[in-house]
Structure 1
Amino acid sequence: MWTRSRIAVVVAVTVAGCSKREEPEPAAGSAAGSAAAVVPGNPNDATDESLLATAEALEAAAQRGDVRWTRTAGHDLMTFSKDGRLQQQPFPAPKHGHGDSVNDAWLAPDGTLFTAGDMITGVPGPDTGAVHRMLPGGPLERVLELPERELWSVWGRSASDVYAVGPKVVVHWNGATWSELPIDGVVGDINNVTGTATELWIAGANNDPESSRIYRLTGTTWQREIEVPCVLRGLSIVNATLYAGGACNTVFRRGSDGTWTNERIPQSFVYDLVATSDSVVYAAATQLLRRNLDGTWVVADAGLPRVHSVYPGRGAQIFAVGNFEYPGNSAISFGAGNRFQIFPLGDCDHVTGTPDLLHCVRERFESSPPPPDLR
């Protein structure tokens, strides 16, 4: 074994707690056959009022000069081998000279790496979507640019069968060319894609009011499967069982019989989730949560008090990305169940790999003036 922000602020912030919200009835069209009401939530159980107070405090700190503002200056791909060797190579320079964002990464079975993101234009409106690819042993290269089409998620079946999605686009790589799939009837900003050998699924989210819809591709038509009253952040399927989670206290599960249910989790917000089998799922929800075979959700000991991202490894194993403390001191945890190995790699994100090789994306920063309004 082994030996998404564009402006970052370095400051310690105390977030106020919150009282329990009154639980509403499940919205029409929400998961059926479930006892768990869906309650929208914020990270760390923060209230909307406390989040606004935090933003105002940061604005005041910026005016006093107590805050150091930075912005992205590009990204590096960090590759760690089993024997401890580290290779670092920069992503190709962004086109517009205003930095870029890498939003997701996926590793094909043959070891080909794909990343999805965007290059910042510096003007109002959507940025330029970008897909980068690295063949085994080859250089990191940009293989797709989409003006005014940001890309937020990437997934595939093989190195010649890959999908990337963004708010208003779904594109497919067939090994020779990229093509755009029709998205007629899809409501919301598309922020996730996943699938199986025979199926393709996406999620579309709205912020005002908060809601999300999950769609399954049937032929050339996107069929809406479910609508939920919160913004979904993660989507993962194994065999015929699909899981989704986001800004609410619930994970949504579609069983192999097509029935949707709600499952209450011991947190109020899911940043990301990964299913490793029909029954076992991991969710980044400040703490790392694990779904057991009996359907219960528990805290998994990944060795990181704060976890903000999870990525599939191989088989039952996952990568969890988080912090020993916040801000700073980030690390990657690799394993399954309650057996994890910590890699103190620092500021790495979008992790993917095999038992012999690990890739992660590390952002470079440069000093920046504060934005005019944090809110």
Structure 2
Amino acid sequence: MSDNEQYGPSRFGFFIAPYHPLTGNPTLQLHRDLALVELADQLGYAEAWIGEHHSAGLEIIAAPEVFLAAAAQRTRRIRLGTGVNSLPYHQPMMLADRLCLLDHLTMGRTMMGVGPGQLATDAAMMGIDPVRQRDMMHESMGVLVRLLRGETVTAESDWYHLSEARLQLLPYQRDGLEMAVASTISPSGAVLAGRHGAGLLSLAASDPSGYEALLPNWKVYEKTMAEHGHTVDRSRWRLVAPMHLAETREQAMREAEWGVGHLVDYIEKLSGRDAPWNSSARAAVEQWVGEGFPAFGRATIGTPDDAIATIEKLAEQSGGFGTFLLLGLNIANWEATQNSARLFAEYVIPHFTGANRNRVASLEWAHANSARMIGGLTAGIQSAFNKHGRTLAEALGANEEAN
């Protein structure tokens, strides 16, 4: 596919960090996350990606593999990805072992997302130098790929040591685990993905800087893939953006006011700065759909038509990608969140997959030929009356005589 060809996604899913208000019950919040994946499976979403975080209170899934094992027991077909494993936090052989186990438990539905680690607080508690995190990610990825291929690996760095390491259990999937590398604004993720033939997971697609970086990062990815002998496939590119949908734009804005405060508080606490748009929930929502939030980018809060317009803009900006992932934010209450997922599945997904293309063509054909069809129908009815009219008259006459 050339760079001039543009197309929208054909697959859809959720990217669940998650982000939960500090005022809620964490046990119930986690079970609602499981229920959201279950609902996504029922509605025909293709994927669900679950994050890994260890501090700051809102993103409370510490082990995505554990969560996904539970989700697998509640679902039938949806593919399940770690979104993402922070590679500097893990001894590579232990992580590879866990993911292979998960792939068998899910019978081949597991995907592996990798990144350097997002929260500075996570790295600080583990004594990891933030400057080293991307280098550590590259070091770990090289070992993981070899282990998952079944190789025996002897390798040493300043933070792990492997001596004739090999996995006793390889992935369930014969072609191995599908891998995707997190990419935001810098080209680091694109380079790593291209080096190992992994997919690209663009987490900041709706952020103004991330939006502008989509095509440059893809160029880096293409170049690196070619240098390492891998085939480029835009269908393996995933873009993530926040959305909340309702029947009207005003209703969606009102529903988002329910939980936007916890995101504003999170941004303020992590940045150490007051947000100038925290005067009211409505002001925060308007800022988010306008100039956007730091780290969270611009949100689409409106109707299915608004969602379609946003995704089409992303397709045009990027030149085409394969999967769109809704960023799970918990900004609306549970009932509204479920309704948003249903609206997206009912009206947005068919727009891009062309699910109703032949149905529309069938009705248009019927309309274009309606005169001929109605004429034929009328003629058929008249022919039936002509053919059986005497029989009908005789039956009616006999009935009158009997009375």
TM-score, normalized by length of structure 2?
A: 0.27
Q: Which has the higher contact order (CA 8 A, sep 6+)?
A: 2
Bigger radius of gyration, 1 or 2? 2
TM-score, normalized by length of structure 1?
A: 0.28
